[in-house]
Amino acid sequence: MQFEDMNAREMRRPYRKYVQRLDEMERILRFIYDEIEKQDDAFVIKGKIDEFLEGTSGEGNYKLNDVEMELKNIYKSFTQLKEKNTRLQMECNAEKEELEVVKTAENMFTTGGGYQARMLGAAEPTESNRASLLGEDYSSERRLGCLSGVVLVTDEMRFSRALWRASRGNTFTQFVPINDTMLYDQKTDSHVKKSVYVIYFQGSAGSAMETRLLKVCAAFGTASYKWPADHNEAIERRKSLADKLHTKEEVLGKFQEYVRSEIDELLRPSADNMSGNSRIEEWRLFCAKEKSVYTVLNLCESQGDGLLLSVNVWFPSAERPHIEDVLKRESPAEQKIILKTDASFGNAMPPTYIRTNDFTGVWQDVISEYGVPRYQEANPALISTVTFPFVFGMMYGDVGHGFLLVLLGMYLIRKGESLNQWSPELFKVRYLVFQLGLYATFAGFIYNDFFSVGLQLFDTGFEDVNGNGEYQPTYDIKNSGGPGPYPFGLDWAWHGATNELLFVNSLKMKLSVLFGVLQMIVGLMFRFSNAIFERNRTDFICECIPFIVFMVCFFGWMDFLILYKWVHPVDNPPMIINSLICMAMGQVDKNPMFDGSIEMGKQLMTITMCTVPVMLIPKPISLYLQHRASIKKAKSSDGHQLLHDMESAEASSGGGHGHGDGFQLDEIIIHQIIETIEYVLGVVSHTASYLRIWALSLAHQQLSLVFFQKTIQMGLTMAFPLNGIMLYLMFGMWFLITVGVLLGMDVLECFLHTLRLHWVEFDQKFYRGDGYRFQPYDVKHIISQTET
């Protein structure tokens, strides 16, 4: 059932608080899923929607309050653990950086007394320069200051330059890379390479110079740590920092183990269903299900202090007994659910519900992309299951390429179930691909084209009688009772003939026009069916009849001339295009197709021209008279109130082509003029548009021929043994080009042009496509579309 919004005007949502609670629960679930993704080897069992729905329909239902409480407790626990874990990580990271600074100082004290000792000219390490980095004199007077810390390796040059400029050259900076470990960087939330820096400057602690340098360090986001005064202090601080770091890393490891144990508990299936989804996934599906239920309840209209809920629904009439049985079976004992038909609601446009299966579903999607059928309007999807692949086959006709598409379609059909898991799009089009290949193979036999090579299926109808390379037909070309022509399709003798392109082009062009006019006539037949079903006499008389007469009298006559010329060969056959020009312009046809064809053509052209005013004039007059009659009837029955209701209905629905402003005769006349011009000119352009079938077929055949001649045929013409090697290489090249161009680009191109012929040239003859889909409430579909 599809639910209508009963509270759209007042925007009342009585169950809004429940939806807000579920939104908060879904936010917590997203937070937990993010934490799970950070864990290694954490796998959430999901995808078992049927098991979840079966489980929640029994006695062990999830309760909203219980799930909400558990989620909040887990969220509170996780956030506290995360805060403590973050604080511990920051402390550990700071102690690691300080430890690296202390190790660098200890190494400098041990290996050479550091930079200050070298400034005083000491050649060898002594006890004096081991005792103090700055020396006793400098320690007492504090004439030389020192700052130390850790900076990113990538910022070393910019940091050094900034210090030099800030101190006006009165500093010296030394960098020592940390090569044995990667340190955590809070800005990038990753582990990066860092270096220990030591800044020497003139001045004591708290001086203006130190303040200036500290501002530069803060601007670069570096962490500053106290530099050890001597070697002994460096050793003591290193040991102390190592102990503290070891203790905090143990605590951090315990935190991680506890978080992992909590996550493992969430990843396990529920105890009631050990083969189902993970516990966290069950909660997520439950929240999605409950949210969809409360969303539907928000559409209901509350009456009697909330004791009664009512809502308008759409459902297939054939499903009514089943729906009533379900409502009766599932209704609680203390409650009652009533399903009744509301006549007043029946005035609205019902949604369109079309039953489909795996075969027809993809074709319905192709048509619905152009427009959803109006309720009980003629749906072109069913006939498109045949016409669409047939037109594609006429464009793509080739036995070899079509058979490769058939193999691809068979593979997709065979792998259907597994394919649906990782690529639902390919699963949906598996029958479409198979059909396209099947019809392309059939058209390939008609064209007798197998990778641009003719198939010698039957004996040819031509023979080189004189031995001079000029082939003569051996069948009865006069159709006077002698031997018949080639039994099926095109004679393979045409392949390679000097006039092959001329003959094949003429054949394919005429086939395109024949099928195009036939398909447009079928579209007009659907227009008749719509008018009959809707009992619209005005459209039936003023549009359908003149439309079909116009089409048959001119373009039907053209198709008749094509077929007549094929089955009645003459010595000097006339050009059909000349006959049509003489017919339309009223000129004298000096080479008629048969006796009486000129007079018949004139009569048909007269009828064709007479249909134009029939399309243009009667319909506005008829609509105007109908409107006047309805006004008169309204005034005579219920007075002005009924008249006001009728005009309001016309204004809201755009009745009488008034486009939502009530009945306006001038707009109806303009609309009818546009419709007439569009149809008359459109039929001409649409007929010409079907020539794209011939153009695409010619392009496919010529591409296939060129690829064959420039690859495999070149290898065949070479001398032995070079021909074997080149044939092997050329075949590989030919296959790659065939797959990439003819099985890739050309398939998409032919599909696109076939789509245009159906949407524009065929559907526009009868199809309004202004309906809207029937979208019933489907729990399984809703929760399957939700994401973590």
Asked whether residue 82 is domain-assigned, the answer is: no
Q: What pLDDT does 60 receive?
A: 52
Asked whether residue 414 is domain-assigned, the answer is: yes
Q: What pLDDT does 658 receive?
A: 46
pLDDT tens sequence across 345-361: 656 788 999 999 999 99
Distance of CA 4 to the CA centre of its chain: 28
pLDDT tens sequence across 47-84: 888 888 887 654 456 889 999 999 999 999 888 888 88
Cα(217)–Cα(197) distance, rounded to whole angstroms? 11
Asked whether residue 731 is domain-assigned, the answer is: yes
Cα(490)–Cα(448) distance, rounded to whole angstroms? 5
The Cα-based distances of 15 to 8, 18, 62, 429 in angstroms read 14, 6, 19, 41
Q: What pLDDT does 359 receive?
A: 93
Q: What pLDDT does 485 receive?
A: 86
Asked whether residue 42 is domain-assigned, the answer is: no
- Comparing 633 with 195, the larger pLDDT belongs to 195
Return the sign of the alpha-carbon dihedral for residues 194, 195, 201, 203: positive
Cα(371)–Cα(766) distance, rounded to whole angstroms? 12
Q: What pLDDT does 366 receive?
A: 93
What confidence category does residue 112 fall into, taking pLDDT thresholds of 50, 70 and 90?
low
Asked whether residue 755 is domain-assigned, the answer is: yes
Tally of domains in the chain: 2
User: Among the three residues 174, 208, 233, which one is the final residue of a domain in this structure?
Assistant: 233
**What is the pTM for the complete model shown?**
0.74
Identify the top-confidence range among 43-47, 495-499, 618-622, 723-727.
Answer: 618-622
Cα(99)–Cα(105) distance, rounded to whole angstroms? 10
pLDDT at position 426 over 50: yes
pLDDT at position 127 over 50: no
- Comparing 596 with 144, the larger pLDDT belongs to 596
Q: Same domain for 227 and 369?
A: no
Asked whether residue 205 is domain-assigned, the answer is: yes
Could you tell me the CATH number of the domain that includes residue 142?
3.30.70.2750
Please list the alpha-helical segments (H only) found in 654-769. Answer: 665-689, 692-709, 712-716, 722-737, 746-756
pLDDT at position 480 over 50: yes
Please list the alpha-helical segments (H only) found in 356-453. Answer: 360-368, 381-396, 399-414, 416-422, 424-428, 430-447
Q: What is the mean pLDDT of residues 568-574?
A: 82
pLDDT at position 648 over 60: no
Domain that includes residue 191, residue range: 112-233
Helix (H, G, I), strand (E, B) or coil at 177: strand
What percent of the chain shows pLDDT beyond 90?
A: 40
User: Among the three residues 233, 254, 276, which one is the final residue of a domain in this structure?
Assistant: 233
pLDDT tens sequence across 196-246: 999 888 877 778 888 888 899 988 888 888 888 888 888 888 888 888 888
Find the range with the poorest average confidence among 130-134, 238-242, 417-421, 566-570. 130-134
What percent of the chain shows pLDDT beyond 70?
A: 90
Provide the mean pLDDT of the chain: 85
Cα(203)–Cα(437) distance, rounded to whole angstroms? 87
- Residue 380 CB coordination number (10 Å): 27
pLDDT at position 531 over 70: yes
Q: What pLDDT does 48 receive?
A: 83
Task: Tell which residue, 431, 108, 137, 92, has the closest CA to residue 251.
Answer: 92
User: Among the three residues 167, 199, 233, which one is the final residue of a domain in this structure?
Assistant: 233
- Comparing 503 with 333, the larger pLDDT belongs to 503
Q: Which residue in the block uniquely carries the two structure tokens 């006499």?
A: 537
Please list the alpha-helical segments (H only) found in 453-550. Answer: 500-534, 537-539, 545-550
Q: What pLDDT does 109 receive?
A: 80
Asked whether residue 214 is domain-assigned, the answer is: yes
Task: Report yes or no: 474 and 462 within 8 Å, Cβ to Cβ.
Answer: yes
pLDDT tens sequence across 244-282: 888 888 888 888 888 888 888 888 887 777 778 888 998
Q: How many helices (H) and strands (E) does the chain have?
A: 31, 12
Asked whether residue 293 is domain-assigned, the answer is: no
Return the sign of the alpha-carbon dihedral for residues 50, 51, 54, 56: negative
Instruction: Name the strand (E) or helix (H) holding 147.
Output: strand 144-152
